[in-house]
Structure 1
């Protein structure tokens, strides 16, 4: 998982954000367009081809709807390797995306590499491809567009990733058509109210499929292979102890034989989608590998998303006492700051310690969907303030007036008061931890929104300027007399 992941803390959704991938040969402006769409400078922009080596993933902010945007990275190779690397880049876009923006350089015209990429994109008619002609500033648009019709793709859109010309028009078209296509493909399966949506995620080969089969048994899983808004994620209803659950399944987890190694590497986008749709996320780690960088980034991704989280350390059998102590110490060092995250050590293959997982899922779901009354919130808020006063700002103390619930999954509390914009992060964590403890939450972090009241006695800036002008004019008239 070489990509940089980004996911916002938002409630789970029935329809995840579409994934828009940017493909093209080196140095045509993929990273510049990515930075403009995400309004960031995460991707490295350089005149040298192949500078972007890793895929970048961010939330698109240009257009009418939110979406994931992926910079698939530059191709840096000699002539012998360029075709295999180009195919890998396009394969990523086709397997994991809802739409592809194929970006070309208007000043260079259509090159042989552009023709090769276009040929690969035409082989997958299920994915919409949008041809964006970049770097066209100051050139005849009709003449530039004419050169790219020979690629056999859709109507070229002339843009400037650097200046932003045509980018909004392009994204409005991409999102409008993608949304219409997703609505037409929407599944008729409706998840019953009160049923937990579970995602089991992790690196390839850590035992996700084995765990699922051990939990519910492959022959007992009722599978509805009806795609929702994505091609790679389906709902798998199943029962355990006469209670209903829905697994948010990513392609290849249940039937891994259908997925080759090349596609399995592209797991991060499937993970993002599963996390968006879920209420409870179980992350599976391989105890024999220890905590590798991919595990660390994945856990932080889910933690940041606000989903209720549990960590399952698999393949615990056959390890020595010393090896187990080392893994425990590593987990405590890396994830101890996350607080009430449950960590279980299991063997999915042998079924050891599996019986604790489903009750934990119930607790995590209940925590994610905690209904906090306004009276309870204000009682807890008052007691927390009495035990530990907010800090002083100058001669005045920050005051917490009242609070109320703003949402679930993750639980969200909105607090109103004075000077809350100056409330330290340490005190905010203290309040979050207090709410989690009082409501007996497990694996769930309470998110806070702080609303500062306006000071009615603070002089209005415009009013003050107006008075200053009146005084100045009055003084002038006095002098004239």
Structure 2
């Protein structure tokens, strides 16, 4: 372990020791921490990331002897941060770790600017799920970016290999090999991306009173439109064509104003007496040399569009089907709790269609990704403007349904009835019992249920209750979240 105040150069033929510049007063060097359970390869990744040209290591002040740290400085690539290797956090078995080590690791997470959550391709354990739940609860994506990496991926992984990680709700997973150094360059690029975007929040908070007087408010108020609509999809799915087709249907383009971010332009569209704000995120400015980097920046663009919207159209390419990138988008929409519908574009290009073609397409889609069972799906052709108006109508309908509020008494009555219908078919030994429930948000449709024992509510019972809620209250396309609480330890 590295002790405080001591510098160490990693021995490697690739490492060229240099003098890293000192930061001025008040300047903070960002901290990137690697976390995960034991034996997933954290230390191997730590060492592999240091074995880069012009890498220098030095001790990060104030860290206990149980957290290994080093400063990575690569001037030509714009990288300068402390990389920290934390002990394995097997929260399921805390007795295996000393309290001092745990406290040091948690303190390290709190001080980190970016977290690398490392998983093992060959084994997902209960400890992985517990640690993932902890990170999600403690750190929102706006405060602390988390990069999810699957280690020991020495061979190429396809979307089926990553299926289990998507089921964990991980919208974006980076397969790496710490030993084989696979995708470590892309990992560093992601770290740089998140670190370079972090200061913007601080800058906004520090606008002086004198400068605030000079700022002009946007000529667009929230009451001018019903909802913000974003169109997302993998590259070349036809987003630009659909944008043009939608804008061709409007009675009036009221205004085009710069959005709150530098990358988007908001267009206010009017359809009869109803209005929506169409958020169009600008193209990727940086020309990436690799397909992996291109997908990463496409994902970041998609993330920004989703976060700034109230409702999303997920565009699929009819000929290419539902691919890996589409799964990431769907997981992200579920994670963010955004109402969405699916538009299958380029339907006119499908040859020899019959009355059963669309039904077979949906069945195949549902088998690949069951989460889509309760999501509205429509086939369109953006270039031919086929069913584009119907797509707009569905969007307004979804926006209306996304504000559904249900009285507490009605919710309690229906949920108890549905649980009686289920009987013990979902719980063979212990009968789950709901004491009380209440709705806390509409989009997503979020309920808190106070129950006898949280562990009695198995995943199949939760899915059953979600399905009943969706059917009863017209929540198709609206994420349903059930949060279970109990005062029992």
Question: What TM-score range do you get, normalising by the shorter chain?
Answer: 0.5 to 0.7
Partners of 2:432 and 2:447 in 1: CA distance: 18
Quickly say closer, same or farther: Cα 1:226–1:413, change in 2 above 3 A. Answer: same
Quickly say closer, same or farther: Cα 1:344–1:35, change in 2 above 3 A. Answer: same
Alignment-derived partner of residue 192 in structure 1: 223
Kindly state the Cα deviation for residue 259 of structure 1 after the two structures are TM-superposed.
5.0
Larger Rg over CA atoms: 1
Matches of residues 359-438 of structure 1 in structure 2 within 5 Å?
359-389=393-423, 397-438=431-472
Query: Contact 1:403 / 1:413 at 8 angstroms: preserved in 2?
Result: yes
Alignment-derived partner of residue 345 in structure 1: 379
SS in 1 for 2:32: helix
SS in 1 for 2:240: helix
Matches of residues 151-230 of structure 1 in structure 2 within 5 Å?
168=111, 178-183=200-205, 184=207, 188=218, 189-192=220-223, 195-217=226-248, 220-228=252-260, 230=261
Partners of 2:39 and 2:224 in 1: CA distance: 39
Could you list the per-position Cα deviations for residues 1-60 of structure 1 after superposition, in whole angstroms to 9, with x for gaps in the alignment? xxxxxxxxxxxxxxxxxxxxxxxx9999x9992435xx78999646579968xxxxxxxx
Matches of residues 246-285 of structure 1 in structure 2 within 5 Å?
246-252=277-283, 262=288, 265=295, 266-285=297-316
SS in 2 for 1:35: strand
Partners of 1:200 and 1:410 in 2: CA distance: 19
Query: Contact 1:187 / 1:226 at 8 angstroms: preserved in 2?
Result: no
Quickly say closer, same or farther: Cα 1:43–1:437, change in 2 above 3 A. Answer: same
Q: Judge which range, 430-439 or 162-171, deviates more.
A: 162-171
Quickly say closer, same or farther: Cα 1:271–1:394, change in 2 above 3 A. Answer: closer
Alignment-derived partner of residue 240 in structure 1: 271
Kindly state the Cα deviation for residue 395 of structure 1 after the two structures are TM-superposed.
7.5
Partners of 2:329 and 2:368 in 1: CA distance: 12
TM-score by length of 2: 0.58
SS in 2 for 1:245: strand
Kindly state the Cα deviation for residue 357 of structure 1 after the two structures are TM-superposed.
0.7
SS in 2 for 1:181: helix
Partners of 2:458 and 2:109 in 1: CA distance: 42
Quickly say closer, same or farther: Cα 1:227–1:215, change in 2 above 3 A. Answer: closer
Kindly state the Cα deviation for residue 327 of structure 1 after the two structures are TM-superposed.
4.5
TM-score by length of 1: 0.58
* Corresponding position: 1:106 with 2:58: yes
Unaligned runs of 5+ in 2: 1-13, 18-28, 60-69, 86-103, 115-142, 145-194, 208-214
Could you list the per-position Cα deviations for residues 148-171 of structure 1 after superposition, in whole angstroms to 9, with x for gaps in the alignment? xxxxxxxxxxxxx99977982878
Kindly state the Cα deviation for residue 201 of structure 1 after the two structures are TM-superposed.
0.3
Say which of 330, 337, 350 aligns to 1:299. 330
Matches of residues 35-74 of structure 1 in structure 2 within 5 Å?
35-36=34-35, 45=42, 47=44
Alignment-derived partner of residue 170 in structure 2: none
SS in 2 for 1:225: strand
Query: Contact 2:344 / 2:378 at 8 angstroms: preserved in 1?
Result: yes
Quickly say closer, same or farther: Cα 1:208–1:371, change in 2 above 3 A. Answer: same
Kindly state the Cα deviation for residue 296 of structure 1 after the two structures are TM-superposed.
2.4
SS in 1 for 2:449: strand
Partners of 2:368 and 2:437 in 1: CA distance: 33
Quickly say closer, same or farther: Cα 1:194–1:286, change in 2 above 3 A. Answer: same
Could you list the per-position Cα deviations for residues 347-366 of structure 1 after superposition, in whole angstroms to 9, with x for gaps in the alignment? 00001111211121122222
Alignment-derived partner of residue 116 in structure 1: 76
Quickly say closer, same or farther: Cα 1:179–1:48, change in 2 above 3 A. Answer: closer
Query: Contact 2:229 / 2:278 at 8 angstroms: preserved in 1?
Result: yes
Quickly say closer, same or farther: Cα 1:75–1:440, change in 2 above 3 A. Answer: farther
SS in 2 for 1:246: strand
Q: How many residues align structurally?
A: 341
Alignment-derived partner of residue 19 in structure 1: none
Partners of 2:330 and 2:39 in 1: CA distance: 21
Partners of 2:399 and 2:341 in 1: CA distance: 11
SS in 1 for 2:313: strand
When the two chains are superposed, the root-mean-square deviation of aligned CA atoms in Å is: 4.6
Query: Contact 1:405 / 1:414 at 8 angstroms: preserved in 2?
Result: yes
SS in 1 for 2:245: helix
Partners of 1:441 and 1:335 in 2: CA distance: 18
Alignment-derived partner of residue 367 in structure 2: 333
Partners of 2:225 and 2:370 in 1: CA distance: 31
Query: Contact 1:106 / 1:134 at 8 angstroms: preserved in 2?
Result: no
Alignment-derived partner of residue 339 in structure 2: 308
Quickly say closer, same or farther: Cα 1:396–1:276, change in 2 above 3 A. Answer: same
Partners of 2:40 and 2:255 in 1: CA distance: 40
